[in-house]
Amino acid sequence: MAELSSVEKEILKCFERGDTRAMDLLYDNYADTLYGIALKIVGDEAKAQDILQESFVKIWKRSRHYDASKGRLFTWLLTIVRNQSIDFIRKRDRRGEIQGSSNDVHLQNVESGDVDVSVKHDIGKVLKELDKDKRELIEHSFILGYTHPEIAEKFDIPLGTVKTKIRAAMHNLREIFGNGR
């Protein structure tokens, strides 16, 4: 597990105390990136702002349940925003299809001396370090929001193979992030 930044430590202390200052810190350090993710998924500025607001409410309500041993704070935040965005898409499009492609996604990181190191990575550059098959599976699963069965159908590969390749890609990404690149 990577060392927590001072901002992360302060946010977690605020979570434990039920201190709303955590939300100010989260907003100041993560809102731009999280908004960008929501915008790329839903493609509508107003809706992306709504999703970000709904996500921050959900983050606050679940803040005492965050477990640092299960993953990075940024990853937890990203998952909530991504899921809120995908829920919006699925409600809008009853067929549940996610629109767009991984080429539509560009994550821009905020510059702050104390932001979680995982946020400072150029995610597109890191993903390019994976081989093409693994990169496509990660992009479809974690950025575009496809489920594993949807990925298996789209790429015409067995579901078990999808899960194995995604697990292997995640292992590769952990190695990349663990090396501080």
Same domain, yes or no: 65 and 100: yes
Taking the model in full, what pTM does it have?
Answer: 0.56
Rounded Cα distance, 52 and 39, in Å: 9
Supply the pLDDT for residue 177: 67
Q: What is the CATH number of the domain that holds 166?
A: 1.10.10.10
Same domain, yes or no: 101 and 180: no
Average pLDDT of the residues of the chain = 79
pLDDT tens-digit readout, 81-90: 999 998 888 8
Same domain, yes or no: 156 and 108: no
Cβ atoms of residues 146 and 140 within 8 Å? yes
Supply the pLDDT for residue 117: 44
Same domain, yes or no: 2 and 83: yes
Domain span holding position 105: 1-120
92 confidence band (pLDDT: 50, 70, 90)? confident
pLDDT tens-digit readout, 132-170: 888 888 888 877 778 888 888 888 888 888 888 888 888
Q: What is the CATH number of the domain that holds 39?
A: 1.10.1740.10
Same domain, yes or no: 166 and 154: yes
Measured torsion, CA atoms of residues 67, 68, 71, 72, in degrees rounded to the nearest 10: 130
55 confidence band (pLDDT: 50, 70, 90)? very high
Checking if the pLDDT of 28 tops 60, the result is yes
Rounded Cα distance, 1 and 15, in Å: 20
Rounded Cα distance, 174 and 123, in Å: 13
Rounded Cα distance, 88 and 82, in Å: 10
Same domain, yes or no: 89 and 2: yes
pLDDT tens-digit readout, 104-141: 444 444 444 444 444 444 566 777 788 888 888 888 88
Q: How distant, in Å, are the alpha carbons of 31, 40, 151, 153, 181 from that of 157?
A: 36, 27, 8, 7, 31
Can you say how many angstroms the Cα of residue 78 is from the centroid of all Cα atoms in its chain? 3
The type of residue at 44 is D
Question: Considering its fold, how many domains does the chain have in total?
Answer: 2
Same domain, yes or no: 88 and 128: no
Checking if the pLDDT of 27 tops 50, the result is yes
How does DSSP assign 90-125, residue by residue? Answer: HHHSTT-PPPS-GGG----PPP-TTS-HHHHS-HHH
Supply the pLDDT for residue 67: 84
Rounded Cα distance, 63 and 53, in Å: 15
Mean pLDDT within 4-29: 89
